[in-house]
Every structure is written in structure tokens, then in C-alpha cells.
Amino acid sequence: MKWLRRFSKSVQGKPGARQSAKSPKAVKQVAATHGTRGVSYSTSPLLASKTPPWRSHFLVALVGLAFAGLLGRALYVQVIATGFYQKQGEARFVHTIDLPASRGRINDRNGQVLAASVAVPSIWAIPKEVDADPEKRLALGRILGWSPAELEHRLDPASKFAWLRRQADDATASKIKALGLKGVFQDREYKRKYPEGEAAAHVVGFTNVEERGQEGIELAFQKDLQGRGGSRSVVRDRLGRVVEDIGEAVPAMNGHDIELSVDSKVQFFAYQRIRDAVADHNAKAGSVVVLDVQTGEVLALANYPSYDPGDRRNLSGAQLRNRALTDIFEPGSTMKPFIVGLALETGRVTPETVINTSPRSIVISGWSPTDAHPHGDLSVTQVIQKSSNVGIVKIAMSMPAREMHETYTAIGLGQRPQIDFPGAISGKLRPYKSWRPIEQATMAFGYGVSASLFQLAQAYTVFARDGEIIPVTMMRKPPGEMVHGIKVFSPKTALQLREMLQMAAGPGGTAPQAQVSGYSVGGKSGTAQKQEGKGYADHKYRSWFVGIAPINKPRIIVAVMVDEPTTGGHFGGEVAGPVFSQVVAQSLRLLGVPPDLDVKSQIVANQKLQAVEESF
């Protein structure tokens, strides 16, 4: 020890000390006697040395700076950036739960539900918290129908959130819940259900997984149906369980219900009949439109092929098309009554005026419209009954093209139907100044102009409503509401045309198959070759029939179209006429319209019915 060495040196200068110091025993005795207690620390060279003042100042400054830094940080966190840190803190335990609004229902005119939202489970996960048990993860993958690789991809720990199955069925949700997987949760969402299935698919349409309308009424009335979602703030624990609510919840506002003019029973029956007709004639597609003459309401709008709005897997464009509104075609002979109506209205002819149709054809600009059979002299009424091309061309060529164009425009050709429904198109009607004589002639029997089946159905309200064309709607109207139309023909002309249409659908006409037991009917068949490229395809036809019932006191208009029938004939009367008959019979009974004909006498008369081959 240093002090011992110093002590040894100090005693060497004293008398007798040298001798004593030389004795180790003496040194030990001294050390033992004095020990550390005899040392004076004030004489220590280290403690006696003075510390430089700057060193203590420096240490005090460092401590002061540290406290200043802490104070500044506290001020920044607690005052300046308090909003940011509160959000960051809340993000770790406070969550906002969306409260979805229930989408409004879509009902038919009698309150039958066509579309409604029901609560179903949706399964989600926080990937980094999902239980790592390999057996449970494999079981989860099997329930979801995923391979292990796909499951691991979905549960990538880098993701903060992952949907496992949205709008799952209850069985799947129960199986996943039974696994007890940590980090996997379930919430309730709304899923759209469509009770009428494919029968009403093209009317109702469908929504996506977010319940946003994609087609049909679901799309047309998206704003009214969707409502407004709400929210609530909650505190969740680390397992995702709700611990408590924070603040006031914002309640959801459910969407408004929509009441359609469609009658689900009429709709279902119309769909069945057109589906069967397409199958019976091995056709490509078909459509039916049923209108209420008194109100302008659409009672049915059916297409085949169709689809199930609730299960759209493998859905094709052919199934999705609402052909009654989106497909346009040359309407053929269904236009002939409008030409006759214009001639009657302007006094150029009367129902008894005789038209010479010999020798079965007429030459105009080097082209010859012909009749299916030679008819000789025909009255104007018979021109409609026999569907004579020659007769209608001679009537049309006696009037200016401008008048024809005005009449076609008045009945809605070349204009988009004014209806609250997506997809309706206008068809084609060229300006009359560009018509050549041959084009005026062909337009008289429905070539060179195009329209949809829906447009034809609306146009025939002119005959059913005493010369007025009325607006049509997909929405139910209040009982007793008056419907006002636009005058096209006089009531007298409309009555004369109804009588002609009745003959066209009766003995000696082109569509006796359109007759309905117990009810008087009238209408006009149409047949046209399909356009293909710059010409017309061989052996490809569209067949249709548009008619009114009962003819004496009209209540409904039914329009039927069958696309490309390949078996059982192709004329409108024999293909579309029977569908018209079946739909009319069922619709009038459902509407409570009493029969206006004696059934027994009608059966006897119908035994002699034979269709006249239609000219097209």
C-alpha cells in the first residue's frame, strides 16, 4: 500500500528507526497497531489537489441541457403534436366500426318482394395475429377451399387486414368459428336476395358485393335504395374484442323501398312461356313485354336466356342482355297498321277502299316488293289482314315521305323510350329528306327502320287508347291516377284499326294462333330476315307478334319476339302468336278482366282457323 511505503520512508529519519524499519516484524506491528484508522485523508495528494472550475461547470451544463431537452420533448408531445400522438395511440386500441345501412327492398305492385337485403357473416383476419398452429391453418384452408400456398398468401404478415370470405353462408361461418383461431374475426354484412330468381332478373338487376346497383332497377334507383351507413367508435383489446364504446354512435339510415308496376305472377308466367317457346323452336333467344293500357304500367318484361341474380358465376353476356330494351331490329309487318292509320286519318283511303295487288309484285326503282301469294284486289282492311306488301306499298307511295316520318316519330321510333330504366336505346329512323323512293316503300312494311320490342309495345298504345300514345313506366302509379297521352290518330281511326287487327288475328289472317279462349284479341304478326353484314342472312329470322286484348275494351298490350327460330316454322303468327295467346289468357285472369266472348261459339269458330302465309 502507498501509505505504508510513505510511512516507512518517514520513520527512517527518526532515531532508531532505520534499525526498526529493517525489521519486518516491526513493520507488521506498526501496521497492525495503526491500521487504516490512523491515516489522515486530508494529507492525501489526490484529495488535496484542486479540481478545475470548468469541469464542474461543464457537468452542470450537461445536466441542465438534458433537463431542457426532456422539457422540450414533453412540451412538443403534450402541446404541439398532441393531435398526432393521440391518433397514433387511438389507432392501437380505438377502432371505428361501420354500421351498414339496410338497402331498400324492391317490391312488385302487390307487395311481393323481388329483392331484399339479409344479414350474413363476413370473415376477416389480422394476418400477423392469426394462430400459427399448422393444423388449424390447414383446416381453415380446407373450409375456404384454398390450397396451403393460397392461404399463406392471403395471410401475409405484411398485411394489416385480409378478407377471408365476404357474405359467407352460415355453415361456413360456424365451421370457422369452431376452429377458435386467434386473429380471425366475423362481422355481419348485408347480402341481396332475389326470391323470383331468373324470372325477374332483367327487371330487378343485381348489386355487387358492396351492394351497389349494377343492372336493372338496382342500378336505376341506386341513390334511393342504398341509404346511408352509420358508425360507432369502440375500444378493442388485443384479441379484437370490443371492450367499450367511445362517444355517440352515428345511426345508419336504411334505404327507401321501391314499388314496381310489375306483377310478379304475370312476370313469372311470361318468362315461362317465352322460355318454352325458345326451347320448342330451338331459337337463340326471346322476349315478352306486357303493358297495362289504362295506366301505361309495365306488368311484365321477360327475356330468355336469363340468369339467377343471386348466383352470377359463369354469367355470359347473352344471359345479361335485356333484349326487350337493348336489341333493335327491323319491325317488319308490324308497321303496316301505322301506314294504314295515316292514310285513313288524311282521308286518302277508307277501310273499304280497294287496292289492286296484282300481279303479286310492284317495281320501284328497279326493286320489286312481293307478296307471299297473289291476292288480286284487296280492301284496305284485307291488306292488313293478309299482310300484303304490295298493297301497303301502294298506300305508302300515295303520301309524302314527310308525313310517314312524322307518324313514325310520333309513335316513338328513333327516340329513346322515356322510362326509368338503364339500357333502353332509340333505334334508327333516318331523316325523310334522305329517303329514296325504294326506301320509302320498304319502310312501309318495316325495313330500313329499326326499333326494340319495348318501343313496338308502346307504339301500339295508339290503337288501344283511341289514337293516343301514352307514356310507360316501371313504377306503380297511385290508383285512379289519370294518364294523358299525345294524339296521333283520331278515336275513329283507332277503332277502325282495332277491327283490322282483330281480323289479322282471326280466320283468314296471318296469326289465328293468337286467339284466346273467352277474350277478343287483335294484333299484327311480323317476320323479317336478320341483317348480316351488308345484306340479309339466309334462313335467319326474327318472329314477333304485337297485340291488344280484349279488343273491344283494351286492357293490355302484349309484344312477343323470338330470335332465330329453326324448328316448327319461322313466321311471326305461328312462332310468337301462341306465346301471345297464353300470356294474354293468364294475364287477363290475374287482373280480373271478365271474358267478353262466348267460349263455345269461339271453339267452333277456331276449328276452321288457318293461318295465311305472311309476306315479308
333, 388, 450, 525: the catalytic one is 333
Cis ω for the linkage preceding 359 (within 30 of 0)? yes
Count of C-beta atoms within a 10 Å radius of residue 166: 15
Task: Tell me whether residue 231 is one of the annotated catalytic residues.
Answer: no
Residue type, 166: R
For residue 118, what is the enclosing H or E element? strand 113-125
Q: Helices 437-444 and 401-410 sit at what angle, rounded to 10 degrees?
A: 40
Q: Pull the grid cell for residue 320.
A: 345479361
Strand ranges, E, within 237-319 = 242-250, 258-259, 285-292, 298-304
Q: Which single residue is written with the C-alpha cell 529519519?
A: 13
Q: Pull the grid cell for residue 243.
A: 371492450
Count of C-beta atoms within a 10 Å radius of residue 265: 18
Q: State the Cα–Cα distance between residues 577 and 596, nearest whole angstrom.
A: 20
Please, are residues 537 and 579 in contact by the beta-carbon 8 Å criterion?
Answer: no
Burial (CB < 10 A; 0-12, 13-18, 19+), residue 152, is: middle
Q: State the Cα–Cα distance between residues 261 and 473, nearest whole angstrom.
A: 7
Q: Pull the grid cell for residue 350.
A: 277508307
Going by C-alpha positions, the residue among 486, 483, 525 that lies closest to residue 503 is: 525
Count of C-beta atoms within a 10 Å radius of residue 129: 17
Q: What angle do CA 152, 156, 161 make, to 5 degrees?
A: 120
Burial (CB < 10 A; 0-12, 13-18, 19+), residue 147, is: exposed
Q: State the Cα–Cα distance between residues 441 and 428, nearest whole angstrom.
A: 17
Residue by residue, DSSP assigns 278-291 as HHHTT-SEEEEEEE
Cis ω for the linkage preceding 565 (within 30 of 0)? no
Q: Pull the grid cell for residue 139.
A: 383446416
Q: What is the DSSP letter of 214?
A: E
Which residues have a catalytic role annotated? 333
